[in-house]
């Protein structure tokens, strides 16, 4: 067997020994394969994987030791700290936990104040020793699915050998860090926002979606029955907010979407203002960009968007305002059955649809036709279809300029925000048996919105960068 001599830096001797053992295991696998022993080959393959992970952990342990500063006094971000002792600690890497001994410090003059771990401070650890290389992908997996699914995915991929509870805890810790810095991070993301090639306009939309919330249950008067839960809860459905900013080409087709979400007790105005600031960042760089506001007809939602654009996006002059075309067609389809009967309803509905798409002012013509039918108060099932269609036309007629919008290449449907409600909220938060609290639910919404908006890497860098501190010996 050939011998290779290399110079090993001080402190890496154990890494070289582990690598040597891994090479021997790999050689046994090669010999097994040459004689057709596939069992030996498979065993060696698994041993090589385990050996490579062990070597990486040993190297990272040596790297972390390099961040340990053992001095009587140190300066952390310019503040003086005094050493209180040296103790072992475990740090969690992508390949698994590693243990080192490091010094702890306390700020000078603070009796019984919190201690600071200079290794964690310089590495930017999350929670209790979770390195960013482990914490960030764990949060990503939690945003994509449940903690059990995250654990199973990591096991199959062969990284992050941690339990379900760790995925839950670390993911929410990253979400809390992002939530605490959201205004700063969002402002930086807006400045760096890239417009997809071929973009000619943007649409902004808001909608609401029900979320199962866990709320304390009022206890009955008197002594609780035997076996009753000590902290009874109710599962109550509340309305969360979902919003999106979508890039469109010259034909109104979607090129990409940024997504935002707030839990039921969150401020809907914050979502609208966040959209408006991104619009301002885009339009200030691309002056010819068209802007359209799309809603389902809820007056409070388009009022929020109108106010936010007027206040926070002055560069977006005279944005188009539309109600969703397909919400209107749904109401006109029901009205057509009353006006024309079941046999001719489809033809009348199609006539109205073509008119709305191609003729300016068609909504008022259709309203007059419905008035003239004299069937406003005809009941079909448990509703009055003609009355509902007329009311919708009367309330939102000034937002039904679909022919003009199509001529400008603008979208006329709010399908993107409907999809956001499903992809951002429903698929993750409305699982069987799921129930949420306000704070933890917002963590997941924030993280998931970053994933679905393809802003994950930039947002995580901006969020975790302030975790790192400059540490040096005191004079």
* Residue 234: per-residue pLDDT: 87
Q: Does the pTM of the predicted model rise above 0.85?
A: yes
∠ Cα 391 392 393 (to 5°)? 90
Concatenating the DSSP letter of every residue in 387-433 gives HHHHHHHHHHGGG--HHHHHHTT-----HHHHHHIIIIIIHHH--TT
Residue 137: partners with Cβ closer than 8 Å, 6 or more residues away: 94, 159, 160
* Residue 33: per-residue pLDDT: 87
Determine the number of helices (DSSP H) and then strands (DSSP E) in the chain: 17, 10
Contact by Cβ (8 Å): 247, 202: yes
Residue with token string 């206040």? 311
Contact by Cβ (8 Å): 444, 143: yes
pLDDT beneath 50, residues of the chain: none
The percent of residues in the chain predicted with pLDDT above 70, rounded, is 99
Concatenating the DSSP letter of every residue in 170-185 gives HHHHHHHHHHHTHHHH
pLDDT tens-digit profile of 432-446?
989 999 999 999 999
pLDDT tens-digit profile of 259-293?
999 999 988 999 999 999 999 999 998 888 999 99
């Amino acid at each position: 067997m050939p011998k290779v001599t290399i110079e090993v830096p001080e402190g890496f001797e154990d890494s070289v020994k582990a690598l040597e053992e891994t090479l021997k295991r790999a050689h046994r696998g090669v010999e097994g394969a040459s004689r057709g022993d596939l069992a030996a080959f498979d065993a060696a393959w698994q041993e090589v994987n385990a050996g490579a992970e062990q070597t990486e952990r040993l190297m990272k342990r040596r790297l972390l030791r390099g961040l340990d500063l053992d001095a009587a006094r140190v300066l952390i971000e310019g503040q003086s700290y005094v050493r209180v002792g040296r103790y072992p600690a475990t740090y969690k890497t992508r390949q698994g936990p590693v243990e080192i001994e490091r010094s702890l410090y306390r700020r000078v003059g603070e009796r019984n104040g919190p201690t600071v771990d200079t290794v964690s401070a310089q590495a930017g650890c999350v929670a209790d020793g979770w390195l960013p290389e482990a914490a960030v992908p764990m949060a990503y997996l939690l945003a994509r699915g449940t903690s059990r699914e995250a654990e199973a995915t990591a096991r199959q991929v062969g990284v992050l050998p941690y339990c379900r509870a760790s995925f839950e805890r670390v993911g929410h810790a990253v979400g809390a860090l992002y939530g605490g810095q959201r205004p700063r991070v969002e402002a930086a993301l807006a400045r760096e926002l890239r417009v997809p090639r071929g973009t000619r306009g943007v649409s902004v939309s808001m909608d609401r979606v029900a979320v199962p919330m866990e709320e304390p249950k009022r206890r009955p008067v008197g002594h609780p029955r035997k076996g009753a839960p000590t902290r009874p809860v109710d599962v109550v459905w509340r309305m969360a907010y979902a919003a999106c900013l979508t890039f469109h080409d010259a034909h109104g087709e979607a090129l990409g979407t940024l997504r935002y979400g707030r839990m039921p007790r969150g401020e809907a105005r914050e979502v609208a203002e966040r959209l408006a600031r991104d619009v301002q960042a885009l339009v200030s760089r691309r002056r010819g960009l068209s802007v359209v506001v799309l809603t389902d007809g809820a007056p409070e939602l388009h009022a929020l968007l109108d106010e936010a654009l007027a206040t926070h996006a002055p560069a977006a002059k005279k944005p188009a305002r539309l109600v969703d075309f397909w919400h209107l067609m749904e109401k006109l389809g029901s009205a057509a059955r009353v006006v024309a009967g079941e046999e001719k309803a489809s033809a009348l509905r199609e006539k109205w649809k073509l008119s709305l798409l191609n003729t300016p002012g068609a909504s008022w013509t259709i309203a007059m036709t419905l008035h003239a039918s004299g069937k406003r108060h005809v009941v079909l099932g448990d509703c009055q279809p003609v009355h509902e269609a007329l009311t919708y036309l009367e309330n939102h007629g000034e937002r039904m300029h679909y022919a003009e919008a199509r001529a400008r290449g603008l979208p006329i449907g709010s399908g993107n925000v409907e999809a956001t409600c499903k992809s951002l909220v429903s698929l993750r938060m409305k699982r069987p048996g799921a129930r949420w609290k306000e704070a933890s639910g917002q963590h997941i919404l924030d993280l998931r919105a970053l994933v679905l908006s393809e802003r994950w890497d930039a947002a995580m860098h901006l969020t975790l960068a302030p975790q790192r501190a400059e540490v040096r010996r005191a004079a």
